[in-house]
Structure 1
Amino acid sequence: MEQNNGDDDLNNRTKHHRRPITMRTKFAGSLSLANIILIATIILYHCEIGASDEHDHLYSSNDEVVLWMNTVGPFHNRQETYSYYTLPFCKGPKKGISHHHETLGERLQGVELEFSQLDIQFKVNVDKTKFCEVKLTKFDVQSFEYAIRNYYYYQMYIDDLPITGSVGDLEETDKNGPVYIYTHKKFDIGFNGNRIVDVNMTSQQKVKLELGSTLEFSYEVNWRPSNVKFEDRFDKYLDPNFFQHRIHWFSIFNSFMMVIFLVGLVTMILMRTLRKDYARYNRDEEMDDMDRDLGDEYGWKQVHGDVFRPPAYPMLFTIMIGTGWHIATVTFLVICFQIMGDLYTSRGSMLSTSIFAYAATAPVNGYFGGSLYARFGGRRWIKQMFLSAFALPTMVCGTAFFINFISIYYHASRAIEFTTMLAVVSIILFIILPLTLVGTVLGRNISGHPDNPCRVNAVPRPIPEKKWFMEPSIIVMMGGILPFGSIFIEMYFIFTSFWAYHKIYYVYGFMMLVFLILTAVTACVTIVCTYFLLNAEDYRWQWTSFMAGASTAGYVYLYSFYYFFFKTKMYGLFQTVFYFGNMALFSAVLGIMCGTFGYVGTRAFVRKIYSTVKID
């Protein structure tokens, strides 16, 4: 009986006033900021990506082809992985490279490539050859049996092409009966010219696990010419039937129509309403003081002296806004890199690119957060700069540090080594922090001067009572529903590719559309919410607009619970902690970004309406 490797087989088996600044100064400052980001991004991106390939994928006849053994773990717990040789497998007789030098992204993702010591040469067939044997002890039998009963699969790489296979098999008629292990690996490798374009592996020769018996492990290699082009060799691992299903297309179209509807609705309602407001306020201007006192004044104009008052906790607020701009910039860049470069074909490339894009674009955080803090009149700008630089890295590292304890306890490959931690800390201290300082200085000098269209009163205006559904807390809870609805379907595809059935997410064009749709929907919703809030003469719009957009994250996190219990078969402490810890982090990052979308759109709206009305 034979067992072909692959995820499908495994799945089937398991189921104030502004100081004047010249345009030249603005342009020069903006240009310098753009140059810093561009140069840093190019250098860091090329350094990282260039270092990720161990060779140029070109071979001559008889050249050594390395089979790297990666990790092994339960099929349903995709992130619970262990080094391949934690199971009592044995290595081949060939000596040579003992360990692959992983990139930063690979190390953080738990990639542990070790040389299999099997002799494979380019275009050289190998008949069935025994390469080692293992005499089973009680511990060996227990280890293999546990792995097989929990549907452990392993992963290998040849020329950066992944190969998967299961450790063993169970009796089809008796799942509690004896277990069998596969001892023979048959490799079928396709080549096109001097490049490897296809790799398949078939697991054969089932042997019953018995104490004291000897397992003889063998392999064979067959080379065959292939018409597959090198640039297309990864297509076999993609699943267009899943990701390009008509439901996916329909969800994108549905979300796009939601944007058109919302933008039109916001424009129509607000313009008609604002036109009436402007007409009423103009009539008020023509009244004398006595008529105006007898009149019933109400609406958003009444809070013009407080609407541009700095929010509560201005330092925290500006940290969130600066971080949100930073996250949005990194998200946009990484999606663009994915569309242009197909980073999903290289191990750890997306994570590495995200880290270095985040480091290279750190001036964005300093610029927007620092300039906003200066406009609010903040004086402790150095403290604000430090907190902005460290806020998100501290959140990420704190979550990773907690999960790392569980990984170490389980001896999982996800355990982060000290040298990797040191590398991340070095990036934060020596790249992110200095670049954040540069951005902060530029932001304070270029756009850090108050330019509000209305003066701020010295004494805050009391906030009148209003209906319960106009309270900021209710607005915040309702503000995230439509933005979540616009990304709901895409969340399913992203979750499935990352958490569930070993599918590779590659439709980053869809992701870019969803990203833009999310931006537009969030801005539209928060603008409407803010208009009604101001009309109720409540000027606390800054935090309300931010939190209304950020509440999308709460719905995403609630959805992650549904997905865990009803769409996956995950189990165990490690996978549960890893899942909910990372989903909490993902939701927090998404919330900060969406909150920034809400505030930025709302601020533009508020400035517009108060700059076009006559105010005494």
Structure 2
Amino acid sequence: MRISKSLLFLSATGVSLSSAFYIPGWSIRSYKDGDAIPLSTNKLTSPTTQLPYAYSEQPFVCPASKDGFGARFGSSRAIALNLGEVLRGDRIQISDYELTVGQDEVCKHLCDRETDRAGVEKAKELVRGGYVAEWIVDNLPGATSFVTVDKTKKYYAAGFKLGFYENDKAFINNHVTLVIRWRKTAEGPNRKVIVAFEVYTKSIAGPMGKCSETLEGQKPLELYIPPETPREDGGQGGDDGKRLNIPYTYSVYWKEDNTIEWASRWDLYFVNDDEAASIHWLAIVNSLVIAMLLTVVVAIIMLRTLSRDIQNYNDTGATDPESKRKAAAAAAAEGAEEDESLDDITGWKLVHGDVFRPPGAGGLFAPIVGSGVQLLAMAVALIVLSAVGVLNPSYRGGFISFGLFLFVFAGVFSGYFSTRVYKTFKGEKWKNNALMTALLFPGFLFGSVFILNLFVWAQASSTAIPFGTLVALVMMWLCISLPLVFVGSFLGFKRAPWEHPTRTTMIARQIPAQPWYLRTGPAVLMGGLIPFAVIFIELLFVFKSLWQDKSGYYYMYGFLALIAGINVVTVIEITIVTTYFQLCSENYNWWWRSFLVGAGSAVWIFLYSAWYFMTKLHIEGFVSSLLFFSYSFLACVVYGLLLGTIGFLSTYAFVRRIYGAIKAD
């Protein structure tokens, strides 16, 4: 395992937060001529698979030597990683590439790597899969340089191709030209900062141990070993001793570039997305239009229909909707004229004695709501920290590390709200409820990840979570999160239960037959479609960052925060409207329905993920497909739990308000 025990402990407990505050323009590191700078290798990723691999562990690359150039940067060649970096599959190690500030290298020999037949087959497999290598200099990923179609702007794509496939032959890029762009700082004329790191690759079948200054015109190096010689008995031999020698060489050029500011050096990785800003604004306009139309519907219900309904009901002076209905029926039988319309004695007012009846499986409902509040607190904090720049691409693994840290410490909110809901259902065993709250959702999440991790382990991928990290996650869960849930539950149990404006009758009234559109399935699907329409354009950018670019360099957090806010408003409004229609149909089982309607857009997101998989991605292999759909499902569960909780809490406030507005007995 590549994390020291002390660093793992700090990451697990959230103490190592000082490294998080890396905001562009604040943490500048400058160099002077002659300073040595390490080049670190990270991982290999591919758009056709969800299985990255550690670059330094491949059998066909130059291993870091104990007395090489990188040894001067510490006794351990592996970089200590934070928890988020480990979970995202980073495996950073200092290499032997020699980078000295201001010193160009026209062509330098790194090593000759002799690899056997298995190593060659592994290299061919990775090249065929389109794997891209990620190197790091001064916290910048090595980039492949491109220009826009109109050739007015340059932009970067993180990483460089490991090799290329041509005419059914695989070739490896064994020569790299490193271009490091720098500019002077205000600290002094001899101080420089690195503003760009470009990598240009070439495949060269040159002689071993030599490096020619002329790279053009040389043949590429094919990944090929002649077939095994058949044995006398007609079988194939095992290891016949044949090897392929791969010479690795590199060039280094330091170029001054005053067009790039250090604070904006990451912009080159996103400049190609400048045109996408108009699409983001289109998404916002689309979301606002949908939200405003829904707001008009809610306003009509609340300000006209519902308010007039309550006013007419209270003006009659009757205290019991059922009595009013019986009186109206008696008057009709005697031929007397009714004082009010039938609408005033039917609908949502008739279920006033059942509307606050505890739902079925209330012992499960309360922990789910508590977990949803926990996720809500985590999500709000993450979006705020990302929007203000604390979490940004330069802080690798920061989003995951902070997310875990915030989720663990938000256990207080989970326990508090879960117990308040549980106590409202007249529950007394708050400790059992707290234990279920602490174990239910985190246990499901951890169990799912553990099972998926077994498949990743079998593939020897770098995203396989090391055993020590799994232990650290369990310790975070059981030693920090669980006690905090109990603390929150204790505080919630000491509070008085939420009081309801109407009394619950002893005998539940019969629910009449419901229209098809008010049944659970159609209501959830139709209710979830509108919030999905609010966010689906922004989902394109999120999915592209996660599944296609593999960089995780999503950075439009300002747009995301605005879209998320509109989405929350939409969910609140749609659940309120759906619940009102349900109550008007004399169906008082709104607790679970409000939660499911709020979570309904998660169903559409999962269907959208399946469409994205079939039309946009080119993922190959059973394990990669399994990981895609499994992680998509888990993400939709998290999203549904969060939005479902928002839907329930807003509906609960709405129901309390409308039944509190009518005159009590």
User: Common fold, TM-score beyond 0.5?
Assistant: yes
Aligned residue runs from structure 1 range 97-116, under 5 A: 97-116=76-95
Task: Look up the SS of the partner of 1:505 in the other structure.
Answer: coil
The one of 282, 293, 309 equivalent to 1:261 is 293
Query: Partner of 2:235 in structure 1?
Result: none
Worse-matched range after superposition: 244-253 or 566-575? 244-253
**Aligned equivalent of 2:623:** 574
Corresponding residue number in structure 1 for 2:330: 294
2:270 aligns with one of 227, 238, 245: 238
Partner of 1:90: 62
TM superposition shift of 1:390? 2.3
Matched, 1:190 2:188: no
Q: Deviations over 1:538-590 (max 9, x none)?
A: 11111111111112111111111000000111111221111111000000011
Provide the C-alpha distance between the structure 2 equivalents of 1:42 and 1:511, rounded to a whole number of angstroms. 28
Relative to 1, partners in 2 of residues 1:251 and 1:203: Cα closer, same or farther, differing over 3 Å?
same
Secondary structure in structure 2 of the residue aligned to 1:480 = helix
- Name 2:137's counterpart in structure 1: 158
When structure 1 is superposed on structure 2, of 554-563 and 132-141 the one drifting more is 132-141
1:461 — aligned with what? Answer: 509
Q: Secondary structure at the match of 2:174?
A: strand
Question: Whole-Å Cα distance in 2 between the matches of residues 485 and 346 of structure 1?
Answer: 32
Q: In the alignment, what sits opposite 1:209?
A: 223
Identical-residue share of aligned pairs (%) = 29
Distance 1:257 1:404, change over 3 A: same
For residues 582 and 460 of structure 2, the distance between their equivalents in structure 1, rounded to whole angstroms, comes to 53
User: 1:243/1:612 Cα in 2 relative to 1: closer, same or farther (>3 Å)?
Assistant: farther
In 2: Cα distance, 1:52 partner to 1:105 partner: 18
- C-alpha distance in 2, partners of 1:470/1:219? 68
Distance 2:370 2:616 in 1: 36
Partner of 2:49: 77
SS in 2 for 1:124: coil
Distance 1:285 1:473 in 2: 39
CA contact 2:104–2:252 (8 Å) conserved in 1: yes
Q: Residue 517 of structure 1: CA displacement?
A: 1.1
The match for 2:188 is: none
Between the aligned partners of 1:339 and 1:52, the Cα distance in structure 2 is: 12
Over 3 Å counting, the alpha-carbon distance change for 1:143 and 1:579 in structure 2 is: same
In structure 2, the CA distance between the partners of 1:376 and 1:44, relative to structure 1 (3 Å rule), is farther
- 2:38 counterpart of 1:66: yes
User: What corresponds to 1:169 in structure 2?
Assistant: 164
Change in 2 beyond 3 A, CA 1:477/1:359:
same
Shift of 1:368: 1.3
Secondary structure of residue in 1 paired with 2:544: helix
Gaps of 5+ in 2: 1-10, 143-158, 184-190, 205-219, 226-242, 332-341
After alignment, is 459-468 or 573-582 more displaced?
459-468
- Deviation of 1:505 after TM superposition, in Å, equals 1.1
Aligned equivalents of 1:410, 1:282: Cα separation in 2:
69
Query: More helix per residue: 1 or 2?
Result: 1
SS class of match (1:208): coil
Q: CA deviation at 1:220?
A: 2.0
Match in the other structure for 1:225: 256
What secondary structure is seen at the aligned counterpart in 1 of 2:464? coil
8 Å CA contact 2:387, 2:561 repeated in 1: no
Cα distance change, pair 386–240 in 1 and its aligned pair in 2 (3 A):
farther
Does the alignment pair 1:328 with 2:364? no
Q: Is 1:303 matched up with 2:303?
A: no
C-alpha RMSD of the superposition: 2.6
* Native 8 Å contact 1:100 1:115 kept in 2: yes
1:66-107 deviations in whole A, cap 9, x for unaligned? 111111243432544344432411136435242111110011
Instruction: Give the deviation of 1:473 after TM superposition.
Output: 3.6
Residue by residue, what CA displacement relative to the aligned partner does 1:294-316 show, whole Å, maximum 9, x if unpaired?
A: 26531111111111111111121
Mean Cα displacement is larger for which, 486-495 or 187-196? 187-196
Contact kept, 8 Å, 1:337 with 1:343, in 2: the verdict is no
Letter in 2 for 1:333: A
Larger mean CA deviation between 353-362 and 206-215 belongs to 206-215
- AA aligned to 1:231 is A
Say if 1:568 and 1:243 are closer, same or farther in 2 by CA, change over 3 A.
farther
In 1, distance between residues paired with 2:614 and 2:301?
Answer: 41
Structure 1 segments of 4+ aligned residues over 4 angstroms from their partners: 40-45, 50-53, 286-290
Structure 1 or 2, whichever has the larger Rg, is: 2
Check if 1:199 corresponds to 2:171: no
Structure 1 distance, partners of 2:479, 2:23, is 22
- CA offset digits 1:132-178 (Å, max 9, x no partner): 1023532333222222222222111112111221122233xx3x2x3
In structure 1, what residue type is equivalent to 2:266?
Answer: F
* Pair 183,423 (structure 1): closer, same or farther in 2 beyond 3 Å: same
Structure 1 residues 480, 615: CA separation in 2 closer, same or farther (over 3 Å shift)? same
Q: Residue 456 of structure 1: CA displacement? A: 1.5
Aligned to 1:285: 317
Query: SS at 1:102's partner residue?
Result: coil
For residues 38 and 441 of structure 2, what CA distance do their matches in structure 1 show?
39
- Structure 1 partner of 2:338: none
Contact 2:528 2:604 (C-alpha < 8 Å) held by counterparts? yes
Call closer, same or farther: CA 1:148–1:465 in 2, change over 3 Å.
Answer: closer
Distance across 2 between alignment mates of 1:107 and 1:286: 66
- Structure 1 range deviating more: 80-89 or 43-52: 43-52
Q: 1:336 to 1:450 in 2, by over 3 A?
A: closer
Of the three residues 10, 17, 23, the one matched with 1:46 is 17
CA drift of 1:130 comes to 0.6
Evaluate the alpha carbon distance shift between residue 409 and residue 294 of structure 1 in structure 2; reply closer, same or farther with a 3 A threshold: same
Secondary structure of the corresponding residue to residue 37 of structure 2: coil
CA–CA separation in structure 2 for the residues paired with 1:182 and 1:359: 44
CA distance in 2, matches of 1:434, 1:220: 55
- How far 1:254 moved relative to its partner? 1.1
Letter in 1 for 2:290: M
Partners of 2:56 and 2:160 lie apart in 1 by 12
Query: Match of 2:149?
Result: none
Q: Does 1:496 align with 2:544?
A: yes
Instruction: Tell me the distance in 1 between the aligned counterparts of 2:529 and 2:652.
Output: 21
SS at match of 1:463: coil
Question: What amino acid is the match of 2:132?
Answer: Y
* Structure 2 residue 442 is matched with structure 1 residue 393: yes
The verdict on how the C-alpha distance between 1:510 and 1:73 changes in structure 2, with shifts beyond 3 A counting, is closer
Distance 1:140 1:473, change over 3 A: closer
**Match of 2:122, as an amino acid?**
S
Contact residue 23 and residue 392 of structure 2 kept, 8 A: no
**For structure 1, which segment, 556-565 or 293-302, has the greater mean C-alpha deviation from structure 2 after superposition?**
293-302
CA distance in 1, matches of 2:12, 2:565: 22
Provide the rounded CA distance (Å) in 2 between the counterparts of 1:418 and 1:382. 31
The 5 Å alignment of 1:137-148 reads 137-148=116-127
Q: 1:436 aligns with which of 461, 482, 485?
A: 485
The structure 2 residue matched to 1:542, chosen from 591, 597, 607, is: 591
Aligned twin of 1:422: 471
> Which residue number in structure 2 is paired with residue 373 of structure 1?
422
Residues 482 and 243 of structure 1, relative CA distance in 2, 3 Å threshold: farther
Q: TM-score, normalised by structure 2?
A: 0.81
Change over 3 Å in CA distance of 1:103–1:517 after alignment to 2:
same
> Which residue is equivalent to 1:470?
518
Partner Cα separation in structure 1 for residue 452 and residue 30 of structure 2: 39
Q: Which runs of 5+ in 1 are unaligned?
A: 1-39
Residue 61 to residue 386, structure 1, CA distance change in 2 (3 Å): farther
CA contact (8 A) 1:83 1:412 kept: no
- Amino acid of the residue matched to residue 137 of structure 2? I
Deviation of the 1:457 alpha carbon: 1.5
Q: Say whether 1:527 aligns with 2:576.
A: yes
What secondary structure does 1:134 align onto?
Answer: strand
For 2:70 and 2:272, the matched residues in 1 are separated by 41
Q: Deviations over 1:271-325 (max 9, x none)?
A: 2211342244236535997734526531111111111111111121111111111
Contact 1:306 1:456 in 2 (8 A): yes
